[in-house]
Amino acid sequence: MKQRTCMRFLIVGIVLPGLLALSASGSAAQNKIRAGGGVYGIYGRPVIQDNVAAGPLYGLKARADLAGPLGAELSFTSFPAGDITFKAQGVDQTTKGFSQSVIAADLILQTTGASGLGVYLLGGIGSYSLTKDFAEDISRIGYNGGLGVEFRSSSGIAVDICGRLHAMPYESGGTHKFAALQAGVNYYFLR
Angle, alpha carbons 154-37-16 (nearest 5°): 140
Our count of domains for the chain comes to 1
Q: Is the dihedral of CA 102, 9, 187, 26 positive or negative?
A: negative
Kindly state whether residue 15 falls inside one of the protein's structural domains.
yes
Q: Report helix, strand or coil for 89.
A: coil
- Residue 120 structural domain: 2-78+98-190
Kindly state whether residue 86 falls inside one of the protein's structural domains.
no
Q: Which residues of 33-53 are buried (b: 16+ CB within 10 A; e: fewer)?
A: bbbbbbebbeebbbeebebbb
Kindly state whether residue 83 falls inside one of the protein's structural domains.
no
pLDDT digits (tens, 9 = 90+) for 95-142: 777 788 999 999 999 997 788 999 999 999 999 998 877 778 889 999
Is residue 185 within 8 A of residue 160, CB to CB? The reply is yes
Kindly state whether residue 18 falls inside one of the protein's structural domains.
yes
Burial class (CB in 10 A: 0-12, 13-18, 19+), 118: middle
The CATH number given to whatever domain includes residue 7 is 2.40.160.20
pLDDT at residue 68 in the model: 86
pTM of the model: 0.75
